[in-house]
Structure 1
Amino acid sequence: MKTSQLERMAPLFRNVHAIGKKMRPFSDYVWMCEVDEQKGLAVGKTYRNAKQAPAFMHSIAEVERKKVEVEMSASKFISIMVDGSTDSSVMEEELLYVRSSRAGKVKVQFVGIQALEKADAEHVTDAICSMMSAVSGSEDEWKEKLVACATDGAAVMTGSKTGVKPIEQSYIKEEFLSAGHETPDAHQSRRYKTKSPDTERVNASQRNQAQGFCKWATDGATLKFCCFMHDTLTHLGNLSVTLQQSCLTVADVDSCLTSTQAVICKYKSRPGPMLSKVLDSTSYEGVRLSHSDTSQMMANKDKLLDKLSESMDNRFSDVGSGILSNTKIVSFQQWPNEYNEDFGDSEVERLIDHFRPVLISAGVDVDLIPDQWTIVKSYLYKEPTTLERLTWSEANRMLRGSCPDILDLLALVLCMPASTADCERGFNVMKIVKSDWRSSLKCETLSDLLMMHLSSPSIKDFDPSPAVQVWHASSLRSRRPDLMENRAAAVVEEVEESEGSVCSSSFEDSEPSVYAL
């Protein structure tokens, strides 16, 4: 492609990229090109209709898919995160992310979204295989590297007989992780449109409602229970924020979950910071509180704490048991303060036994891993203070030459996902892109839009050159970025030639007139 043509197409691709990033309709592309022309940019006259915008969008998305393919090809192990939801057209969509770890760095990338004819295990599995094959060299390549699959707790995913779990475990090398989210039941609360009991011109019904609410709000037991809920929900909110982190590991989940459970269980014997302020007080913010029996409140408090602890144990039961309990070796927070020659040895042995087939297929010498684990521990414990701020990326840079096999095992553990929060964020974007006004978007176009919005660089950092080259090479016929300009030049040339021939013939036909005087 000529440099002049590339420079002319670059502003057009930038406009399409900005449309995708800002989730604007494709019709904006036309007037954006007109504005560029008024600014004096050389955008030409070709490919300036709204129908070209999806084609340019597809080329930009293909560049990002190529990046995913390159990352998957360079990684020895991968995991997938999948979740399903309905869009604005009430069509079941399956969204897929891939997680990999290379040189100690964890990367989560969007793969695609695909509509399902039927939301059963067979169609979900076919959609997963189709999307993964589109960004992989071959179907067998990504299956050989797959070590874990994270989903929500839906029966179609985790069913032991007709779910996706038994189908994918035929080639997956890890337990099927149900590490997603659970949507609580929606409880509708009655909204009282009330006014102060002292307000004038208030009817009797509203006055009674306001008086009842005021009496309930100034009750000492009610306020104390609200303060207790504030303390408890603060820690549960922090836990939720931690679980939503993109590169979170299973070991981090176990550590954060254990600390949260310890704090809320401690509230059974001692009050939290908010409850301590009002426990022995008879007023709050200058309002006098009515005295009431708090024994029922204390009993309800203990029941709630027991139920919360039980629910967390049931929801995250697989984190602290089975093969997942051995992943704590990747969390420096769980390493002992002083060197322990036996730390992690049993966990490493169990991980080797469980992942032996996938490790061998990736070219890892499993017999050398135990000795290399001892070398890693002794080397990192030379400077104990560095463990607090050490990362596995730095450890890989220091020890890749001497301990490659144990670092590959740790990379396998790091690529195991702890939640499907990325899928939930992807669905939030999908529902903004495919709104009620754009419910007729094709699945391919929706996938391109999501790929560009979630994965492509920002508007400031976007380089359109690779996308332009992909677009130019994707056509069976040669692209003609100068088509309209060449046509206009040909018309002008034809007009000039016709005018020149007319003038010439007129001159030849005219003869000088001689008048006799």
Structure 2
Amino acid sequence: MKSHNAEFSPAEKSLQTLNSAVFERLEKLFRVAYIALLKIQGPFLDYEWMCCLEGKLGVDLGPTYSNRTSCKEFMVSIAEVERQKIEDELAQTNYCTIMSDGSTDVSGVENEGVYVHFARQGAYHCYFLGMVETECASASGIYSAIMESLHFNKHLTEEIQENIVGFAGDGASVNTGKLNGVIALFQGRINPSILMIQCMAHRVELGLKDAMKNVPLFSKVVELLDDIFKFYKSAKQKSELKSVFETLKLQFSMPTRVGGTRWVGHMLLAVKNMLKGYRALVFHLSKVSQIRSQSAPQSKAINFIKKLKSKSIIFFAHFLVDVISVLARLSKQLQERKGCVFQVHRQLETTLINLNKLGERDGFELRKVASSDTFEGEGLTGNTSEHDAQSARVIKGLVSCLQRRFDDLDKGIFSATKLADLNSWPTSSEDAKDFGDDCLMKLLDHFHDTLERKGVDLAAAEEEWTALKQALYKRFGRI
């Protein structure tokens, strides 16, 4: 039999030789590194000044490990311990879903961020597995990066792969391609029953882009927002605009970029900031347009003022705030970490109802200008015929595009998720005799091999489903 000491790793044996003072210092240094980089998410430089501060306060940390190089070593050690915890939890679960998304670092290298989702004992878990550099942004490169993130110390990658039942990613063809996409590699190399789950929030973004493709007023508003943002990137123009806000006693509202990682949110913020700072923008641009010596800024300012005083553009900007606010609420709900597929049905239905209402009557923001020829004291030129025609087309197109982007949720295996939504259950047991039977059969048929491999008695599943319904209705009466 091995002695107790033989069970320790070389690192543990080395730690045993350290005297208590050094061990106490390391414990404090680890804590500083954890707070500096993980808790407050600061740069490695924060670790050095925090160590310096601890020294000024009389804490003896010593000079040896109070540098960024040591901090990096501490972070690697912390990461290894946390990753071991994830491995231990994964070992106790039967099914999991892998989620990934691409990101480019400051050096321009493409990386893949990988997460794992699973439920155990009724509790939902989501863990970050790593940011892995990809050889290329192709399906094979992404798949290889995901597999690399599944390498653990105790369990083989193949053991984790057997538990995968779904892959979640954005709607890019590199992920969704049925022949050569990432999901095709998952299904071909691991299990054909693995589901492709497209990012719900990304569907909203794509639906909005689809609906706005052939809407001239939308293009005009986006172009105006983008040009104004670039115009005020100049330190001189930004400083002058800030002074105008102070003179008019308005809260400073800097023009923001239209695009971004959260496109719906960035678009909404950009339009709101333009309308919020409208008076100051027009005032400052009017001053710039009168300065003869500045030919380039002057011509831009004249063009901006013309667009800012266009009734169609201003009306459509208010209309966009109403529409995108509805989409932004949906997007936020879909991004909730503990959200489930079955909830999307209700959330989308509510969104479509609110959008149709905007097609029938003016929204809250549009009503502010609907019956006026001025906005913030500035006269508007032109008429609203262009806005009226295009806004009606936008609502119709947006509803259609969203329905098309989410149509897979109402058919196939995803439609079976309504079993988890108690709001979809019949109110009484008499009406629930056959409820969910078809959904259960879809699930059992689709995951037949996976469930059998995990020892699930498929023949007994239908009987247990009936027993579960009876137990719930007997206990609660009505659901």
The answer to whether the superposition gives a TM-score over 0.5 is yes
| Corresponding residue of 1:308 | 398
Structure 1: stretches of 5+ with no match in the other structure: 388-517
| Structure 2 residue 445 is matched with structure 1 residue 353 | yes
The answer for the alignment partner of 2:102 in structure 1 is 84
Match of 2:162, SS state, is helix
How far does residue 297 in structure 1 lie from its aligned partner after superposition? 2.7
Aligned with residue 283 of structure 2, among 188, 191, 195: 195
* Bigger Cα displacement from structure 2, 214-223 vs 224-233: 214-223
1:6-155 to structure 2, matched below 5 A, reads 6-21=23-38, 22-26=40-44, 28-44=46-62, 46-134=64-152, 137-155=155-173
Instruction: Tell me if the contact between 2:322 and 2:365 (Cα under 8 Å) persists in the aligned partners.
Output: yes
What is the alpha-carbon distance in structure 2 between the residues aligned to residue 194 and residue 271 of structure 1?
26
**Structure 2 matches for 1:50-449, cutoff 5 A?**
50-134=68-152, 137-170=155-188, 171-172=190-191, 173-179=193-199, 181=202, 188=223, 189-191=226-228, 194-195=282-283, 202-203=290-291, 223-276=314-367, 278-279=369-370, 281-282=371-372, 287=377, 294-339=384-429, 340-341=431-432, 342-381=434-473
- How far the C-alpha of 1:213 sits from its partner, in A, is 6.4
TM-score of the two chains, using structure 1 as the length reference: 0.65
Tell me, yes or no, if the aligned pair for 2:170 and 2:199 is still in contact at 8 Å: yes
Distance, in Å, in 1 between the alignment partners of 2:338 and 2:317 is 34
- Structure 2: distance between partners of 1:24 and 1:288: 46
Q: What is the letter of the counterpart of residue 356 of structure 2?
A: C
8 Å Cα contact 1:282-1:288 kept in structure 2: no
Q: AA paired with 1:10?
A: E
Is the 2:309–2:381 Cα contact (8 Å) retained in structure 1?
A: no
**Partners of 1:343 and 1:166 in 2: how far apart?**
33
Shift of residue 350, structure 1, vs aligned partner: 0.8
Q: Deviations over 1:7-41 (max 9, x none)?
A: 33211101221232244444554554444344333
1:445-500: CA deviation from partner (whole Å, max 9, x where unpaired): xxxxxxxxxxxxxxxxxxxxxxxxxxxxxxxxxxxxxxxxxxxxxxxxxxxxxxxx
Q: Using the alignment, how far apart are the partners of 1:224 and 1:29 within structure 2?
A: 51
State whether residues 428 and 477 of structure 2, in contact with CA within 8 Å, keep that contact through their aligned partners in structure 1: no
* TM-aligned CA deviation for residue 308 of structure 1: 1.1
- Structure 1 residue matching 2:75: 3-state secondary structure: helix
Map Cα deviations across residues 345-394 of structure 1 (whole Å, 9 max, x no partner): 2111111111121122222222222232233333434576996xxxxxxx
Using the aligned pairs only, state the percent identity: 31
Q: CA RMSD in A?
A: 3.5
**Is this contact kept in 2: 1:82–1:95, CA < 8 A?**
yes
CA contact (8 A) 2:96 2:165 kept: yes
What is the alpha-carbon distance in structure 2 between the residues aligned to residue 135 and residue 235 of structure 1?
Answer: 46
Q: Which amino acid aligns with 1:85?
A: S
Contact kept in structure 1, 2:282 and 2:308, CA below 8 Å: no
Q: Is the contact between residue 359 and residue 395 of structure 2 (CA under 8 Å) also seen in structure 1?
A: yes
Match of 1:480 in 2: none
- Whole-Å separation in 2 of the counterparts to 1:111 and 1:288: 54
Where does residue 431 of structure 1 map in the other structure?
none
Contact between 1:73 and 1:136, CA under 8 Å: does it hold in 2?
no
The answer to which structure, 1 or 2, has the higher relative contact order (CA under 8 A, 6+ apart) is: 1
3-state SS of 1:74 partner: coil
Deviates more, 1:78-87 or 1:223-232: 223-232
- Mean Cα displacement is larger for which, 197-206 or 293-302? 197-206
Distance of 1:162 and 1:345 partners within structure 2: 35
Distance 1:215 1:105 in 2: 57
> For residues 322-357 of structure 1, what are the alpha-carbon distances to aligned partners after superposition, in whole Å with 9 as ceiling and x for unaligned?
211111211233334444312222111111111121
Taking the aligned partners of 1:220 and 1:363, their CA distance within structure 2 comes to 67
> What is the Cα deviation at residue 260 of structure 1?
0.8
1:310-333 CA-partner distances (Å, limit 9, x unpaired): 321332232222211111211233
Which residue is equivalent to 2:263? none
What is the DSSP-based 3-state SS (H/G/I as helix, E as strand, rest coil) of the residue aligned with 2:338?
coil
On the 8 A contact 2:286/2:305 being kept in 1, the answer is no
Note the residue ranges of structure 2 that are not aligned, 5 or more in a row.
1-15, 214-218, 232-280
- Alignment TM-score, normalising by the size of structure 2: 0.70
Change (3 A) 1:219 1:153: closer
Bigger Rg, which one: 1
